[in-house]
Structure 1
Amino acid sequence: MENNKEALLPRLRQTPLFAAWPEDAIAPLLAQSRPLTLESGDILFAEGSSARSFYFLASGRIDLIAAAATGQEKIVEIIQPDDLFAEAVAFLGGRYPVTAQADVATTVLEIPLDLFVESLEQRPLLMRQMLARLSMRLHFLVKELRHLSVESAEQRLVSYLLDLCPMLNGPAAFELPARKAAVAARLGLAPETLSRVLTRIRKAGLIEVERRMIIVPDPPALRRWAEGH
């Protein structure tokens, strides 16, 4: 386990949050962290539960799920390997605002919040970096709210696909980060609606679909198509 943690250190240092952390700050934090293994469907933490840790996704996938007032659940984010998540709870009163559930066999690094916050308080520069990250996250959530409230199903899906494109000025290929049903829930769409829109875009010659692999020959043309819907 210790070797596994040490192997994660270079990947942690690539995250915006930890990129500027000096060795003497991140080493004790890593020493107090622990790897956790989850099976598909396992709950890492539940919405409203007391938060004592945040997490780095080493492998697998995690769905962040929020309960709506109607009692339905919605996937608000699909966490990918090398992502940090739940770090904002350090500033939100100590309770998780969503449920985190493993979508496949998954390994995460559990990072203790108390030691993390103590390190930030001793290093004001790191605190400012954390606030900048949270501000960027807020901007992202405002953008997502606009997508879900005013955009059509076509616009939501195309915006999502273009966000996944590794390049926007030429042909691009990428894999959907999760099953289509999870992507549909992430976009606030019924699975059959997602399938219909994908079929329409494919018949328009704007994408090719091979299981979860998406090929976009002309991203600007795909964007123009969405603007017409």
Structure 2
Amino acid sequence: MESQLTHAVTRNPLVGWMPPADRERVLGYARPAAFAEGDVLFHEGEEARAFFLIVSGTVELSIAAGGKRTGVVGVLSDGESAGEVAVLDGGPYPVTARALDRVVALAIPGGTFLRHVEERAELMRGVVAGASVKLRALMRENGELKAMPTAERLCGFLLRLVDQADGMAKIKLPFEKRVLAGTLGVSPESLSRAFGRLRRVGITTGRTDVVVIRDVAELRQLVVAGSLGDVA
């Protein structure tokens, strides 16, 4: 657990860049928090009193309208954080954060964190820069996704889960297909159609969260060449 904690903290763009003494100080006032699958870390619209640095597990971020959850806007994992933008700008949480599996996190009190970084200008600049890096990455990722056909979005995601260069691969999706659809910016129906038509290039799946890729190298070549087409 100690190695997981160290890895997560050093990866986090808000905290990982800090001098060791400041990182230790953050760990001193952060509170350990554990969530079971389905538990809510915070609700959209609530006062942002803390942000959560994920040590292990997966967290879904969703937005709602009229009291109903309407879409997944992001999925976070080890080393990422949820709720930090609301803490920094003093507004309410703009999304709801929900655990997709067992999640271990650090709850970092917003007021204490802000007082800490406001003590030195370089700390505040670093925190703002870290938040900016995350926002820019999200904007770039969303822009790239919107420009890609559904088939390429899906195949690109699957290839990121594979740790081999060629041959057949059997992978387990890290979350439900409903969440995957939201992450890719498509409807569940479009995702289902994409999976169905991708059988022609050797991608098969059933009602479970297991996906089989017939030939990883062949699929990667198709993605790079942009020859998959939009199957949704």
TM-score, length-normalised on structure 2? 0.78
1:127 aligns with 2:128: no
Partner of 1:28: 25
Higher mean C-alpha deviation, range 64-73 or range 109-118: 64-73
Counterpart position of 1:196: 193
The 5-angstrom pairing of residues 46-57 of structure 1 reads 46-57=43-54
Match of 1:212 in 2: 210
- Provide, for residues 38-97 of structure 1, a one-character-per-residue CA deviation record: whole Å limited to 9, x for no partner: 122111100010011111112222111112579552111111123222222232223111
Q: Structure 1's 42 and 19: CA in aligned 2 closer, same or farther, altered over 3 A?
A: closer
Aligned-partner residue type, residue 217 of structure 1: A
Letter in 1 for 2:217: P
Q: Distance in 2 between matches of 1:130 and 1:15?
A: 11
Q: Deviations over 1:195-222 (max 9, x none)?
A: 32123223223x4659435643242322
1:221 maps to 2:222: yes
1:81 is paired with a residue whose SS is coil
Superposed CA RMSD: 3.1
Alignment of 1:120-159 (within 5 A): 120-146=117-143, 151-159=148-156
- Structure 1 residues 1-229: aligned runs within 5 Å: 8-68=5-65, 72-146=69-143, 151-161=148-158, 170-171=165-166, 175-205=172-202, 207=203, 211-213=209-211, 215=213, 216-218=216-218, 219-225=220-226, 228-229=229-230
Aligned length: 223
d(CA) in 1 for partners of 2:43, 2:162 = 32
Q: Distance in 2 between matches of 1:57 and 1:156?
A: 25
The gaps in structure 1 that reach 5 residues or longer are none
Alpha-carbon separation, structure 2, partners of 1:47 and 1:185: 17
With structure 1 as the length reference, what TM-score do the two structures score?
Answer: 0.79
Deviating beyond 4 angstroms after TM superposition, the runs of 4 or more aligned structure 1 residues are 4-7, 68-72, 147-151, 162-167, 172-175, 207-211
Range with bigger deviation, 102-111 or 193-202:
193-202
Counterpart Cα distance in 1 of 2:5 and 2:138: 28
